[in-house]
């Protein structure tokens, strides 16, 4: 994948694309707004883990402008 956003770039309410655990093999991305940031470290090689407003949990791959 391209640049994985760091935690500093991710804010609650931001629209992002995440990859859920069950989609890691297929690479299927899910879009939504960040409800909570679950990763406490500033960076994670697979993406910062977040919960979306929909309740889905995954790692942020892209920030949607």
4-26 confidence digits (pLDDT tens): 999 999 999 999 999 999 999 99
Please measure the distance between the N-terminal and C-terminal CA atoms of the chain and give it in whole angstroms. 18
Cut 0.85: pTM above it: yes
Domains in the chain with CATH codes: 7-63 (2.30.30)
48-58 confidence digits (pLDDT tens): 999 999 999 99
Per-residue pLDDT at 1 exceeds 90: no
**Predicted pLDDT of residue 65:** 81
DSSP element (H, E) containing 59 = strand 57-63
CB under 8 Å to 26, separation ≥6 — which residues?
none
CB under 8 Å to 65, separation ≥6 — which residues?
none
Distance between CA 43 and CA 28 in Å, rounded?
22
pLDDT band for position 2 (cuts 50, 70, 90)? low
DSSP element (H, E) containing 64 = none
């Amino acid at each position: 994948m391209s640049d994985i956003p760091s935690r500093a770039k991710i804010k609650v309410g931001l629209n992002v694309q995440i990859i859920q655990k069950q989609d890691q093999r297929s690479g299927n991305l899910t879009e939504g707004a960040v409800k909570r940031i679950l990763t406490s470290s500033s960076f994670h090689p697979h993406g910062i883990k977040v919960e979306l407003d929909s309740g889905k949990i995954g790692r942020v791959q892209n920030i949607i402008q």
